[in-house]
Amino acid sequence: MIQSGRSIAISARGVTKRYKMFRNARQMVAHQFGLRDLPFFTRREVPEFTALAGVTFDLARGERIGLIGRNGAGKTTLLKLITRSLAPTDGCIDVHGSVQALMSTGIGFHPEFTGRQNIDATLQYYGLHGDAYAAAIDDVIRFVELGKYLDQPYSTYSLGMQSRTQFAVATAFHPDILLIDEVLGAGDGYFAAKSADRMKRLIGSGCTMIMVSHSTDLIEQFCERVIWLRDGHVHRDGEATPILAEYEQEMADLARAGAGARAAAPKSLNPFSLPAMLRTDFVEQHVRAAEPISELSGEGVVERLGGDAEIHRFPGQPGVRITDVSLSRAGEESGGLQVGEEIRARVCLAGPVGTMTALRCHLLVYTLSGDRLARASGEVECSFDKSGAGAVEGLIGPLQIGPGQFVVSVLVEDAQRPALSESARYDLWSRCAALSYAPTNESDPPLILFDGFVQQGASELEKTRMAGMV
């Protein structure tokens, strides 16, 4: 509720955002240029995904709102509508005042420019000059404490260094409206405390703020009001403390229910097969778009052992083919995973009869929105028997990627050729499995680098250490 006498900074009325789920670039171009109306063009209905549906709210000047909800609830889409990066499909959203958004590390920063050059260019882009510009430059340099790295290319910075540089630049001046999406407090505890102190000073200046975070402690520290989005709708809107308590309880209930259901799964069930709920056009298209494939790869659908015929294959050069992929807990045949547990992976292969072949195997992990979260890679020697059958299996993990559901693809390459090149690829099973992690506590580490081990075959011939990469 807006208190009387407070002017409106943001007003949303019936805001709906739908995305068209084009199957390929040709279909998208045809739609954009109106070619679908031509008589020779094949008409096919384009499915849509509704990210926001009828969202209505008012935000007063100087008010601080926390935006919460599960992944896919529409939080980031709403912020992009406020910044005018997207236009609503229906409804309207009015924004009064200048907007600064911290929505993704490094956006607007050139990777080959130094940190100093990026800071200088960004502040000039926002119109600072004279004494205000000089003061902002000094303020940012003092805050980031990069030392000699200030004059090194931005691409050489760690994620923590990039995050605090972007955060410092965005808060070096006072916008009317500040949008923050999961980037506050990046880095170690020292810089998290510095960021919090900087935010308090900014808020004290009267800045209007919308903060997206999965950390309820962070929301409660900085926000007086919370909007809870669920499946694109406003589920709750009001005072922060009671809504955050309800949200935490619901997340805990969902985690317990999910862990209980997985623990009770019979041993004959492979809990890592891609669930029907994840076989949506949105997941299929977005994960496919992030795969190391091309339109010339010859996509097909393979019959997986166990009768699952929903596996998409992108074969490469002749030589080796994947015949089956299975994932399980390291210590059990079935059951769900908790954050921090290892995974046992087995990749069955078909190859040249009676040969020993050097292979490079990748386990690719994606979020449901198509972002590649992690990659585990390892090189092994695989022997193929008289029938041409072989297998690679071993342990991977722990994948420090936090709780949630993730889509997995498996890529097998020629180890003698450059990694992730088209000439190296033997076979790719895209979206062939899913990982579902239950949380172990409220502070799961947000790491995306991990170590894993792969061993060749079922006879435990050799173990090869491999590094997980993003």
CATH, residue 370: 2.70.50.60
The type of residue at 208 is: T
Q: Coil, strand, or helix at residue 463?
A: strand
Residues 85 and 223 in one domain: yes
CB 446 within 8 A of CB 440: no
Give pLDDT, residue 107.
56
Residues 185 and 90 in one domain: yes
Q: Is residue 264 part of a domain?
A: no
Residues 331 and 215 in one domain: no
Give pLDDT, residue 351.
93
Residues 147 and 218 in one domain: yes
CA distance 279 to 297: 22
CA distance 398 to 396: 6
Give pLDDT, residue 68.
92
Q: How many domains does the chain have?
A: 2
Residues 51 and 119 in one domain: yes
Give pLDDT, residue 451.
40
Domain that holds residue 460: 276-469
Give pLDDT, residue 295.
63
Q: Is residue 262 part of a domain?
A: no
CA distance 325 to 274: 12
Per-residue confidence in pLDDT tens, the chain, 470 aa? 555 556 899 999 999 998 877 666 666 666 666 665 555 555 566 677 888 999 999 999 989 999 999 877 889 889 989 988 889 999 999 999 888 777 654 456 888 899 999 898 888 887 788 888 899 999 999 988 888 889 999 888 877 788 788 888 878 877 888 888 766 544 556 676 777 778 777 777 788 999 988 778 778 888 889 999 998 999 999 998 889 888 888 887 776 665 444 433 333 234 456 666 567 777 787 788 888 887 656 788 877 665 556 788 898 889 999 998 888 777 654 455 667 778 888 899 999 998 999 999 999 988 877 878 888 888 888 999 989 999 998 788 777 677 777 889 999 999 998 888 888 999 999 988 888 776 655 444 443 433 444 444 444 333 333 333 32
Residues 100 and 23 in one domain: yes
CA distance 172 to 118: 14
Q: Is residue 212 part of a domain?
A: yes
Q: Is residue 269 part of a domain?
A: no
pLDDT digits (tens, 9 = 90+) for 183-227: 654 455 667 677 777 877 777 778 899 998 877 877 888 888 999
The residue among 17, 181, 205, 190 whose CA lies nearest residue 105 is 181
Give pLDDT, residue 44.
61
Residues 238 and 326 in one domain: no
CA distance 217 to 194: 16
Residues 138 and 223 in one domain: yes
Instruction: Please tell me what DSSP assigns to residue 151.
Output: G
Q: Is residue 332 part of a domain?
A: yes
Q: Is residue 351 part of a domain?
A: yes
Q: Is residue 261 part of a domain?
A: no
Q: Is residue 260 part of a domain?
A: no
Radius of gyration, alpha carbons of the chain? 25
pTM here is: 0.52
Residues 231 and 353 in one domain: no
Q: Where are the beta strands (DSSP E) in 96-230?
A: 99-102, 177-181, 208-212, 225-230
End-of-domain residue from the set 234, 250, 266: 250
Q: The domain spanning residue 117 has which CATH number? A: 3.40.50.300
Positive or negative torsion for Cα 116, 117, 120, 123: negative
Residues 367 and 235 in one domain: no
Residues 336 and 239 in one domain: no
Residues 242 and 340 in one domain: no
